[in-house]
């Protein structure tokens, strides 16, 4: 099959086209999927650059001698493993695959059905591929790690509201959790406008003093929850200052997360990591991603959760490199996805 691979970790030019063997199987609970859309997340960029550090030994577990990146996909099941129970040949699916197996930047991908959901009917393949990784991350952070209860009279602050994760976290906070105040951060007119469209009730500028801006909001409910989706270490001190006593702070971005010398102890604050890969890596509650994605498909088809795809590109080496550049520059809005049917020149996967 055709694939876009990394043989040597490094700059974006190291994403290259290669003819590789089709995935073997499918065995066990694997599905063999024909990839029709995939999206690019910061993890793709970090892995390709050789800088992914969410696990201390990540690069000891990756496929050799080349790695196919791509941790979000949508496509059609073309074969099922002997133990599959959830899907059949011909089903249209969307999923976020495993970071230690070959990814979705290829014509075909083998994926464990327990991490897969049926594709929302109202989204095309390019749109559907934008959803899984960011949605499951935001869902786990807000509902499972911060344990926010529906209708709580508390405020949530999302640091980085217009990025891929923040754009779905704000929707979950408003539409599913019905929080009265969902404050996000963004620093440019178009990111401010986008995060409002995605559900923010208030927007602060992360390039200015967050504490002062928050005081000006005069909230009449406590800031009990903070979700950090950018440069954790930049925000630890200010989070400790602005969080209400007994508040909870959850981060999805690796860092030192230094608490000593801040109000973390004084206010009895909790700090919680959230990593999408924890369940699959440690083989815990492995079917939960399937359940979250099945529920997401219904939420999308009923119009309650909106797709946050902003940039569509053709699934070629040129398109994939462009998507990596957009994320790497740091000003991304919503999501960047690639599809087989997107406009542009060039042979697919080449
Ligand atoms: N732990 C996990 O399981 C997990 C899962 C998914 C993602 N992540 C991580 O979460 C982070 C966010 O991912 P994403 O997909 O949302 O990223 P993204 O789409 O690349 O985020 C882009 C946004 O970052 C904002 N930004 C730039 N500098 C900032 C700063 N100093 N403070 C706050 N925001 C800033 C920009 O807003 P302005 O242009 O307005 O400044 C831009 O809209 C990444 O580091 C990613 O690796 C972790």
Q: Indicate which residue's Cα is closest to atom 35 of ligand 1.
A: 160
DSSP string, 8-60: S-SSGGGEEEEE-PPPP---TTEEEEEEEEEEE-HHHHHHHHT---SSTTGGG
* Mean pLDDT, range 240-255, rounded to an integer: 98
The confidence score (pLDDT) of residue 97 equals 87
335 alpha carbon to ligand 1 midpoint, in Å?
11
- Is the shortest distance between the CB of 137 and ligand 1 below 6 Å? yes
The confidence score (pLDDT) of residue 25 equals 87
Q: Indicate which residue's Cα is closest to atom 12 of ligand 1.
A: 229
The confidence score (pLDDT) of residue 189 equals 98
The atom of ligand 1 lying closest to the CA of 235 is 32
The confidence score (pLDDT) of residue 317 equals 98
Q: Which CATH superfamily is domain 2-131+285-339 in?
A: Medium-chain alcohol dehydrogenases, catalytic domain (3.90.180.10)
Q: Indicate which residue's Cα is closest to atom 39 of ligand 1.
A: 331
29 alpha carbon to ligand 1 midpoint, in Å?
33
Task: Domain 136-273: give its CATH code.
Answer: 3.40.50.720
Residue boundaries of the structural domains of the chain: 2-131+285-339, 136-273
42 alpha carbon to ligand 1 midpoint, in Å?
8
Class of residue 14 by CB neighbours under 10 A (exposed 0-12, middle 13-18, buried 19+): middle
Q: What is the pLDDT of residues 285-303, one digit of tens each?
A: 999 999 999 999 999 999 9
- Is the shortest distance between the CB of 179 and ligand 1 below 6 Å? no
The confidence score (pLDDT) of residue 57 equals 95
Q: What is the pLDDT of residues 175-225, one digit of tens each?
A: 999 999 999 999 999 999 999 999 999 999 999 999 999 999 999 999 999
Asked if omega into 26 is within 30° of 0 (cis), the reply is yes
% pLDDT > 70, the chain: 100
3-state secondary structure at position 79 = strand
- Is the shortest distance between the CB of 332 and ligand 1 below 6 Å? yes
The confidence score (pLDDT) of residue 206 equals 98
* Mean pLDDT, range 91-115, rounded to an integer: 96
333 alpha carbon to ligand 1 midpoint, in Å?
9
% pLDDT > 90, the chain: 98
Q: Which of 100, 154, 106, 163 is nearest to 130 (CA)?
A: 163
């Amino acid at each position: 099959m055709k694939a876009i691979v990394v043989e040597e970790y490094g700059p974006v030019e190291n994403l290259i086209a290669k003819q590789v063997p089709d995935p073997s199987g499918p065995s066990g609970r694997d599905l063999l999927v024909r990839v029709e859309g995939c999206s690019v997340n910061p993890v793709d960029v970090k892995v390709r650059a050789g800088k992914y550090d969410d696990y201390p030994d990540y690069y000891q577990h990756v496929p050799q001698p080349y790695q196919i990146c791509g941790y979000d996909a949508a496509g059609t099941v073309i074969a099922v493993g002997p133990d599959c129970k959830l899907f059949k040949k011909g089903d249209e699916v969307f999923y976020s695959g495993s970071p230690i197996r070959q990814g979705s930047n290829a014509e075909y991908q083998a994926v464990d059905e327990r991490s897969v959901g049926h594709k929302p009917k109202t989204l095309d393949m390019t749109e559907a591929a934008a959803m899984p990784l960011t949605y499951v991350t935001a869902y786990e952070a807000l509902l499972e790690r911060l344990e926010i209860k529906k209708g709580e009279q508390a405020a949530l602050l999302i640091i980085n509201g217009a990025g891929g994760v923040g754009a779905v976290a704000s929707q979950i906070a408003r539409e599913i959790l019905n929080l009265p105040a969902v404050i996000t951060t963004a620093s440019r007119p178009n990111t401010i406008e986008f995060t409002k469209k995605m559900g923010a009730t208030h927007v602060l500028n992360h390039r200015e003093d967050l504490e002062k801006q928050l005081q000006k909001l005069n909230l009449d409910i406590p800031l009990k929850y903070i979700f950090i989706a950018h440069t954790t270490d930049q925000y630890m001190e200010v989070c400790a200052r602005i969080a209400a006593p007994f508040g909870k702070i959850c981060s999805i971005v690796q860092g030192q997360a230094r608490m000593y010398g801040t109000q973390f102890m004084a206010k009895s604050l909790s700090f919680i990591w959230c990593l999408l890969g924890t369940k699959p890596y440690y083989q815990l509650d492995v079917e939960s991603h399937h359940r979250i994605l099945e529920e997401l498909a219904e939420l999308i088809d009923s119009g309650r959760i909106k797709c946050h795809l902003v940039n569509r590109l053709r699934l070629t080496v040129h398109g994939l490199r462009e998507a990596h550049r957009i994320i790497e520059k740091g000003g991304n809005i919503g999501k960047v996805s690639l599809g087989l049917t997107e406009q542009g020149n060039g042979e697919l996967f080449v």
